[in-house]
Chains A and B, each alone.
Chain A
């Protein structure tokens, strides 16, 4: 198993939508490398013929595209009442005309 470099930490942080200053990057690189080194213990295990477990009740749960022999758990497709819009929006940091507000992503001049 590979270890993680400062460059790797910056890449993963971007994927996770996190950002760190130089000091934090160094700190996380060191800690993650140490944890990954411990996790490298798993390489002692011969697992070529071992199927992966994604869920402990595989017979019961629907997992899209899974190879575990899972079956669908479906419920009737019936429309039911949901949370009222105003209750949901009550938690939003920014609301505009009944919608969640976010910083502009489309330039209006085009």
Chain B
């Protein structure tokens, strides 16, 4: 096995024992990038020079026998929605093509304190709006399992690079499923922590009451290690919550005896692909055989989650994206007639179609005469969705569902129909409304060879139980060990 194929925890042991150097590890990952990135196209920016500098620093630490953090010298990719000081941050939008943040997001400061090696910035749907990464203004990212299919979205680049072994771990952001869905479609582990667990400072805002940063990883242990590094309250984000952050590796226990796992019947409708339903039922049976108690539950307002989401998220986005006006940063229309004309031309030329559609939807939902009928109504529906989960977690510890109703679909298949694309998030948006922690772990493959994800949800700040179930499932199955076979000619064999 090449070094780039290994997990962060396995690599940490090798670095600590001086079997390998971080520079060798970075060389292995960049060699893999040279070989397969032209086909996968997961990165928007590579920061190779910086990466080797950071790898050299980590090696000095290991050589001196310093106590090195778990992620020291580990090559990590970062979604291009997270501000990286001195490194271009575009949100995959033309409007931020030249934007170089003068500061680091809090998560970056925390990762740099660990001594990570930053590989580059990953592709995404523009401003994290989408479910396929096809809304990037720059390039289409290809699913490493089948290059004709999408990697999911919006964090499609971050999922694809971990799947393709062109990164060891990565960071993404999840508003309505943008970590969990691409993790499922690319066959990797992806986790959205509880809203408020991770500082959003320096995460370019999409929908502020939903956005949360989280990891992609090759296994649950690596996911816990990244969580350990990034969680915690932050004076720079008033919505980060001041609760103790446990050592998440302590809950990686291979045992689910006595745990109650709820299976909501509303997730198993005709919209769910039959092969995926089979994989999920098999996964649940595995957990039952390991001693978990399985209980059918009801989350009756599930079917309203998408309608609610496509009011709340666009409404917040329409306010957040008002800042792109061509004055302080980013693109500006060349020959404006006047100030208002400059705003309008700048925004109309700088934003892509999906972003405009959501700004329009959100502005409409907040406009005079419609606010109560749409925005207020959606906020009330959000209360009902959240109450369903509150009631369920009175009875069960963890909820198990499919992550995505279908496997990865073909590139271009859903771009003509926004509503159909929105329905891709039907399994992930309910938990987003309630701010719950959720993980997607690989749980099998459909006949065409595409991976399937099992979503596990917990009560607010109950990440440990979610991780424990995910870890137990992983330790007793082999799905996460499967790798896509991308030839250097771009053919998946």
Identify the A interface with B (CB < 8 A): 1-2, 4, 8-9, 11-13, 15-20, 28, 31-32, 34-36, 38-45, 47, 50-57, 60-62, 73, 75, 83-84, 87-88, 90-94, 100, 102-105
- Chain B nearest CB from A76 CB (Å) reads 10
Q: Does B291 make an interface contact (CB < 8 A)?
A: no
Identify the B interface with A (CB < 8 A): 98-100, 102-103, 195-196, 209, 235, 238-239, 241, 301, 303-304, 306-308, 310-311, 318, 322, 325-332, 336-345, 347-348, 351, 356-357, 359-361, 363-364, 367, 370, 373-374, 376-384, 386, 418-419, 422, 433-435, 460
Residues of A within 8 A of B374 (CB): 1, 39
Picked from B327, B347, B434, the residue with its CB within 8 Å of the CB of A56 is B434
B359 pairs with A31, CB closer than 8 A: no
| 18 CB-based A-B contacts, threshold 8 Å | A2-B373, A9-B360, A16-B363, A17-B343, A17-B347, A18-B347, A36-B364, A38-B419, A41-B303, A42-B381, A45-B384, A47-B380, A50-B383, A52-B379, A56-B460, A93-B327, A102-B342, A103-B336
* Nearest A residue to B366, CB-CB: A15
Known contacts being A52-B382, A57-B241, A62-B238, is A42 close to B307, with CB within 8 Å? yes
Q: Choose among A31, A34, A83 the residue with the greatest number of B CB atoms under 10 Å from its CB.
A: A31
Bound form: Cα–Cα A44–B209 in Å:
25
At the interface, is chain B mostly helix, strand, loop or mixed?
A: helix
B342 pairs with A28, CB closer than 8 A: no
Shortest 3 CB-CB contacts between residues of A and residues of B:
A52-B379, A56-B435, A93-B332
Bound form: Cα–Cα A39–B435 in Å:
21
Picked from B239, B301, B331, B336, the residue with its CB within 8 Å of the CB of A55 is B239
A39 pairs with B310, CB closer than 8 A: yes
A56 pairs with B195, CB closer than 8 A: yes
* Nearest A residue to B434, CB-CB: A56
Q: 5 additional contacts, CB 8 Å, given A50-B384, A51-B383, A53-B379?
A: A18-B351, A57-B239, A57-B460, A61-B239, A83-B103
B340 pairs with A17, CB closer than 8 A: yes
Residues of B within 8 A of A102 (CB): 327, 339, 342
B329 pairs with A8, CB closer than 8 A: no
* Nearest B residue to A16, CB-CB: B363
Known contacts being A52-B383, A56-B435, A87-B102, is A73 close to B378, with CB within 8 Å? no
A56 pairs with B209, CB closer than 8 A: yes
A12 pairs with B364, CB closer than 8 A: yes
A35 pairs with B419, CB closer than 8 A: yes
Bound form: Cα–Cα A79–B235 in Å:
14
B380 pairs with A31, CB closer than 8 A: no
Residues of A within 8 A of B347 (CB): 16-18
Residues of B within 8 A of A55 (CB): 209, 239
Known contacts being A8-B364, A38-B419, A90-B100, is A47 close to B384, with CB within 8 Å? yes
Q: Choose among A43, A87, A91, A104 the residue with the greatest number of B CB atoms under 10 Å from its CB.
A: A91
Bound form: Cα–Cα A4–B373 in Å:
13
B238 pairs with A73, CB closer than 8 A: yes
A18 pairs with B196, CB closer than 8 A: no
- Chain A nearest CB from B460 CB (Å) reads 7
Picked from A4, A28, A90, the residue with its CB within 8 Å of the CB of B357 is A28
Q: Choose among A20, A84, A92, A93 the residue with the greatest number of B CB atoms under 10 Å from its CB.
A: A93
